[in-house]
Amino acid sequence: MEQKLIFLDIDGTILGYDGTLPASAVTAIKTARQNGHRVYLNSGRSKAELPKELLAIGFDGIIGGNGNYVENDGQVIFHQALPLETEQAIVTWLTERNLPFYLESNAGLFGSPDFEIKAKPAFQAYIHSKNPQADTSNLKVEDELHGLILGADLTRCDVNKISFALKSYQDFLDTKAAFPDLEVGTWGGKDELALFGDLRPKNITKSNAIDHLLTFLNATKEQTVAFGDAKIDIPMFTYCNLGVAMGNAGPETKAAADLITTDLMDDGLFNGFKEIGVLSND
């Protein structure tokens, strides 16, 4: 079989939203790589936010920050950080509006002084949206954001993107109007139900990052397969030769996919890898 390049979203695709890593997902990734295929993480998370247990599986590279960072075999081949002047303008804007935020870089996640306290309700709501029975009474935000650092200097030139907790949907609309030259999005809920906003450089997407990687590898789109569960993964499906939606994906994501596997916690990644034929040497 021709070598495939497989791109995996993380949350809802490899990891459950409670952080669970199914053993079958680990087996699928390791087996595919042993069979000569290349497997890449392709996530909204920055590198510093990746759990050690996830990285321990072994991957051929990382696409982070929804596409503004691309790494292949440990070599950085693309990185589009926010300019320092822009980063400082965002920090000032969010601080003046009393919106807790954190800077996402590959060196760490750097939270505003009030982030742990003020962002806690948003994280509790985010967890409950995925698992209504979850007990979040003792939740610690730093446990949800791997690599979070509080009290650090917020003047940084290595920031991939900036996420912030929304008090209302209007906060997102106001931020989008204030920074027309940036990509301003939401996560943790659809439209008015969104819990968080984020800002990143314009024209940065998961699919654009794959294009950079293919050029570097001298590979073709025909080799590419994307796995995901959320709307932000749809551009990956459109770009790649094959898009596979997890069984736990939303209706729009499933509609955009070529294949639909089972739920993540029902061996979804393993079954998807089996379906595309990368778990055998044939």
- List pLDDT tens digits, range 251-275: 999 999 999 999 999 999 999 999 9
Q: How far separated are the first and last CA of the chain, in Å rounded?
A: 6
Lowest mean pLDDT among 47-51, 75-79, 101-105: 47-51
Q: How confident is the model at residue 243 (pLDDT cuts 50, 70, 90)?
A: very high
Using a pLDDT cut of 90, give the percent of the chain over it: 71
CATH classification for the domain delimited by 5-80+204-275, as one of 3.30.56.10, 3.20.20.150, 3.40.1450.10, 3.40.50.1000: 3.40.50.1000
Write the CA distances from 245 to 179, 250, 251, integer angstroms. 32, 9, 10
Identify the pLDDT of residue 134: 79
Cα separation, 211 vs 42, in Å, equals: 12
Please give the average per-residue pLDDT across 6-28, as a whole number.
93
Query: Which residues are bridge partners to 243 per DSSP?
Result: 226
What is the torsion angle, in degrees rounded to the nearest 10, for the CA atoms of residue 131, residue 244, residue 205 and residue 66?
A: 40
- Residue written as tokens 């912030």? 164
Residue spans per domain, the chain: 5-80+204-275, 84-201
Say what the pLDDT of residue 85 is.
97
Residue 94's CB: how many other CB atoms inside 10 A? 20
Distance CA 90, CA 196 (A): 15
Q: State the average pLDDT over residues 5-32.
A: 94
Q: Tell me yes or no: is domain 84-201 CATH 3.40.50.300.
A: no
35: Cβ–Cβ under 8 A, 6 or more apart, which residues? 1, 278, 279, 280, 281
Cα(69)–Cα(38) distance, integer angstroms: 18
- The distance of Cα 25 from the centroid of its chain, to the nearest Å, equals 17
User: Is residue 61 within 8 Å of residue 120, measured between CB atoms?
Assistant: no
At 124, the pLDDT band (50, 70, 90 cuts) reads confident
For the chain, the average pLDDT equals 92
pLDDT digit string, tens, across residues 157-205? 999 999 999 999 999 999 999 999 999 988 887 778 889 999 999 888 8
Q: Which two tokens stand for residue 219?
A: 């590979």
Angle between the 169-178 and 84-96 helix axes, to the nearest 10 degrees? Answer: 140
Per-residue pLDDT reduced to its tens digit, 147-165: 789 889 999 999 999 999 9
282 falls in which pLDDT band (50, 70, 90)?
low
Q: What is the pLDDT of residue 174?
A: 97
Helices 268-275, 23-34: crossing angle, 10 deg rounding:
30
Q: Is the confidence at residue 40, as pLDDT, over 90?
A: yes
Q: Could you tell me which of 255, 248, 280, 254 has the C-alpha nearest to residue 13?
A: 248
